[in-house]
Amino acid sequence: MAKTKNLSNGNGVAHGPAKLQQELEENIFLFVPNLIGYFRVVLAIASLYYMPLHPRTCSALYSVSCLLDALDGYAARAFNQSTKFGAVLDMVTDRCTTACLLVFLASAFPRWSIVFQGLISLDLASHYMHMYATLSMGGAGMSHKKVDESRSWILKMYYSNNKVLFTFCALNELFFIALYLLSFSSPLLSPSLLQPSPSSLHPGSPAAPKPSLLFTSPWSAGAMEMARANKMDSTVPWILAAISFPVMAGKQFINVVQLIKASKWLAEGDRLERKRLGLPQRKKSS
């Protein structure tokens, strides 16, 4: 009778095991690595807010968000909290933040906009194709980071070694951050940053109104041009760009390999499926 009393309420309805199961159910969304992922998203959004006018603040926020990409993986292993949701959140955050930065670079360097548009397309297409091929051909429980060496030793080396993966991703982002800083500091890349010849007009005269009267909105295109002419020194960004460029180029090559291998894997599955269905059907000879 005592056992029955513990499992029932005043109405005699058993609820003990159900309540215990509810208490033991884990909240995946509150796992430590996922909380770090949410913080990365907040930092990324904050960096985008400051991106048009405050290069130093934007770069700091963006860099911290990228560096936390390594911390969430470490937390997932340390707390045994690796989840598919966390892996997708991590990948989506990386793809979106990089795409947003490249969109800004396309507007800062209009003549090279097609290059940045191509990099966005390659990044999104290669990762989507790779993820879809892994889920479709490898099974729902297979991670996109588990690559068979027979398919691609390059992708195997890239995904299986966390240090290699982090180095490529970090220096890839570093190159784009360096370009972003150069858009504010290098007249070589941005001729509009060259200072015009000194004017004989005085700021108080009607012919030379205050900048605040010309650019009433701090988020206007004119205000962004004024911010980009804030005399940042371009030495450090040039050094960072030179150091990270080879790795960035290697990362794009890996994206191409990833896209090709995923396409071939999907086509292989299509051939097997068509063979199973007896396709193509041969026409009967009369």
Neighbours of 281 (CB within 10 A): 7
Question: What would the mean pLDDT of 219-230 be, rounded to a whole number?
Answer: 69
Catalytic residue numbers? 94
User: Between residues 35 and 5, which one has the greater pLDDT?
Assistant: 35
Note the pLDDT of residue 273: 92
Q: Mean pLDDT in the chain?
A: 84
Least confident span in 39-53, 117-131, 201-215:
201-215
- At residue 185 the predicted structure's pLDDT band, cuts being 50, 70 and 90, is confident
Q: Give the CATH fold of the 27-189+222-273 domain.
A: Four Helix Bundle (Hemerythrin (Met), subunit A) (1.20.120)
**Residue corresponding to tokens 């097609």:** 114
Is the separation of the CB atoms in 46 and 59 below 8 Å?
no
- The answer on pLDDT for 39 being more than 70 is yes
Neighbours of 248 (CB within 10 A): 20
Note the pLDDT of residue 190: 75
- The answer on pLDDT for 229 being more than 70 is no
- The answer on pLDDT for 4 being more than 70 is no
pLDDT in tens, 55-93: 999 999 999 999 999 899 899 999 999 998 998 999 999
Is the separation of the CB atoms in 123 and 176 below 8 Å?
no
Note the pLDDT of residue 232: 79
- The answer on pLDDT for 16 being more than 80 is no
User: Between residues 145 and 268, which one has the greater pLDDT?
Assistant: 268
Q: To the nearest whole percent, how much of the chain has pLDDT over 70? A: 78
Note the pLDDT of residue 147: 86
Q: In the chain, what are the domain boundaries? A: 27-189+222-273
Question: What would the mean pLDDT of 216-245 be, rounded to a whole number?
Answer: 80
Evaluate if pTM is beyond 0.85: no
Question: What would the mean pLDDT of 104-125 be, rounded to a whole number?
Answer: 96
Cα radius of gyration rounded to whole Å, the chain:
27
Note the pLDDT of residue 2: 47
Note the pLDDT of residue 99: 97
User: Between residues 149 and 112, which one has the greater pLDDT?
Assistant: 112
Is the separation of the CB atoms in 44 and 65 below 8 Å?
yes
- The answer on pLDDT for 205 being more than 60 is no
